[in-house]
Amino acid sequence: MFQEIYSPVQKIEIDLFDNLFVKRDDLIDPYVSGNKWRKLKYILAKASNENKKHLITFGGAYSNHLVATAAAAARFGFKSTAFVRGEAVQNEMLLLCSLFGMKLIFVDRQSYKNKNLLFKSHFEDDSNAYFIDEGGASKEAVKGCTEIITELNETYDHIFVAAGTGTTAAGLLKAIQYKNLHTILHVIPVLKGGDFIKDEISKYTSISDHLTLHTGFHFGGYAKTTPELIHFIKNFTEKTGMLIDPVYTAKMFYAIADLQRKNIINANDKILAIHTGGLLGILGMKDKF
């Protein structure tokens, strides 16, 4: 069902960083991008095994997960429907979802909270319907994310990843533990109060010394930015030719530069940053640049 993927490791050669490599999951696909493909891979396999033909999922109006699910559904022969949080809007991300054939159902914030009820009330009689949680969070998603580690040909002292739900981080940690690597996983929650990420990770694997959470790099909260972060993105992109987005990966790269500058991370240590993709998110933040 699934073709080979393209996610090379590249070295970053700018003066901000000493010994930094990037796992380019953003290159996997422009739409089924980065960790969203990692998460969907085994979810789609499971849906397919259960003979389900209609993917039902959930997200906000600028969700990378919705675009990824819509594109993957179209590519692998599924129908797709999404419950979108909030009043009906039009934007670039939702346009892409529609082009890939996804049906959009807008629901108010209160109803959105009970996803199981939404699924049941709309699709109880549809034996083809397959429930995919917001952001794809699931055991299958964690399994897909472990492959980011098992694909690597070298080991690193530190691996960095941005976190929304922590599902991707859980997969990385699980693989680091399983392979008995000396690597420390540094997780950068992009939301305020990111300590909850630990609870999320502990649903899938044990919390160990391999995990460090850095909760101070949210820049005001989810999808919030500051002029400093925007400046960082412009400089980074201009110098490296690699796009990063204000919601996720910019906060991670900023954290790496900051921790190196403060000597919390040793200058000579070998670091791998996971580029989790999601660059379309920039379209929702045009006015910030």
Ligand X SMILES: *Cc1c(COP(=O)(O)O)cnc(C)c1O
CB of 8 to ligand X, least distance (A): 17
In the complex with ligand X, the residue whose CB is nearer, 104 or 252, is 252
In the complex with ligand X, the residue whose CB is nearer, 183 or 276, is 276
**Are the beta carbons of 57 and 134 closer than 8 angstroms?**
yes
**Are the beta carbons of 94 and 63 closer than 8 angstroms?**
no
Here the tokens at position 182 are 């000396």
Give the length of the chain.
Answer: 289
**Are the beta carbons of 176 and 185 closer than 8 angstroms?**
yes
Strands 20-24 and 9-11: antiparallel
Q: Choose, by CB under 6 A, the member of 135, 144, 194, 284 that binds ligand X.
A: 135
Distance of alpha carbon 173 from alpha carbon 185, whole angstroms? 7
CB of 189 to ligand X, least distance (A): 8
Q: Choose, by CB under 6 A, the member of 69, 80, 81, 165 that binds ligand X.
A: 165
Q: Choose, by CB under 6 A, the member of 34, 59, 144, 246 that binds ligand X.
A: 34
In the complex with ligand X, the residue whose CB is nearer, 104 or 169, is 169
For 107-124, give the DSSP string.
E-HHHHT-HHHHHHHHHT
Q: Of these residues, 33, 63, 80, 138, which one is catalytic?
A: 63
Closest CB to ligand X: residue number: 278
Q: Choose, by CB under 6 A, the member of 19, 69, 138, 168 that binds ligand X.
A: 168
Q: Stretches 8-16, 119-127, 209-217, 272-280: which one binds ligand X (CB under 6 A)?
A: 272-280
Distance of alpha carbon 266 from alpha carbon 268, whole angstroms? 6
Distance of alpha carbon 56 from alpha carbon 119, whole angstroms? 8
Here the tokens at position 171 are 């997969």
**Are the beta carbons of 133 and 114 closer than 8 angstroms?**
no
| 172 binding ligand X? (CB under 6 A) | no
Task: State the binding string over 42-81 for ligand X (x if CB under 6 A, else -).
Answer: ----------------------x-----------------
Q: Stretches 75-83, 159-167, 177-185, 227-235: which one binds ligand X (CB under 6 A)?
A: 159-167
CB of 206 to ligand X, least distance (A): 18
Q: Stretches 78-86, 115-123, 156-164, 173-181: which one binds ligand X (CB under 6 A)?
A: 156-164
Fill in the DSSP letter of residue 22: E
| 166 binding ligand X? (CB under 6 A) | yes
> Which residue in the block uniquely carries the two structure tokens 């492959």?
147
In the complex with ligand X, the residue whose CB is nearer, 72 or 163, is 163
Residue 63 among the catalytic residues: yes
> Which residue in the block uniquely carries the two structure tokens 């790269």?
253
In what order do the strands lie in the sheet containing 184-189?
9-11, 20-24, 271-275, 158-163, 184-189, 211-213
Distance of alpha carbon 248 from alpha carbon 188, whole angstroms? 9
CB of 124 to ligand X, least distance (A): 28
In the complex with ligand X, the residue whose CB is nearer, 39 or 158, is 39
Residues of this chain that bind ligand X (CB under 6 A): 34-36, 64, 135, 162-169, 248-249, 276-278
Catalytic residues: 63
